[in-house]
C-alpha cells in the first residue's frame, strides 16, 4: 500500500484551475448559441438583445471564472486534506502495474 500523506497545494491548485478552465470551454458553444438566439428573438424591443449580450459575455467570462474557482477550491481542498491527513494518516492506495489484477 502507498500512502498519500500530503498534497502540494500550489500544484493541486494549478491542475484544478486548468482542468476547470477547460471544462468551462465545453459550455462556450451553448452560451454562444443561446446568445445568438437572444439576438434573433422578438422578446420586446431590447429584451432579447440584452439577453443575447449577457449570454455572449458569459461565453467569454465563463472559462476564466471556472479556472479561477477551480484554482481557489483546489488550493482549499488540498490544504484541508493536509490538515485531515495529519489526524487520520492519509489515504491508502494500492498501486499496480499495467496488466496486473
Higher-confidence residue of 100 and 92: namely: 92
What is the reported pLDDT for 37?
A: 77
Alpha-carbon distance of 83 to 76, in angstroms, equals 11
Of residues 78 and 51, more confidence is placed in: 78
Cα distance between residue 3 and residue 12, in whole Å: 17
Partners of 23 in beta bridges: none
pLDDT digits (tens, 9 = 90+) for 15-51: 999 999 999 999 888 888 887 777 776 655 666 677 7
pTM equals: 0.76
Distance (Å, whole) CA 101 – CA 82: 30
User: Which residues are CB-contacts of 22 (< 8 A; sequence separation ≥ 6)?
Assistant: 63
Flag whether pLDDT at 67 surpasses 90.
Answer: yes
Cell of 23: 471544462
User: What is the pLDDT at residue 18?
Assistant: 97
Amino acid at each position: 500500500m502507498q500512502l498519500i500523506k500530503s498534497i502540494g497545494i500550489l500544484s493541486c491548485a494549478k491542475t484544478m484551475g486548468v482542468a476547470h478552465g477547460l471544462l468551462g470551454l465545453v459550455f462556450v458553444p451553448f452560451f454562444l448559441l443561446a446568445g445568438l438566439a437572444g439576438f434573433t428573438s422578438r422578446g420586446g424591443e431590447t429584451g432579447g438583445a440584452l439577453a443575447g449580450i449577457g449570454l455572449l459575455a458569459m461565453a467569454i467570462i465563463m472559462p476564466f471564472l471556472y479556472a479561477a474557482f477551480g484554482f481557489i477550491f483546489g488550493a482549499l481542498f488540498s490544504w484541508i486534506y493536509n490538515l485531515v491527513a495529519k489526524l487520520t494518516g492519509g489515504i491508502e492506495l494500492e498501486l499496480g502495474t499495467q496488466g496486473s489484477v
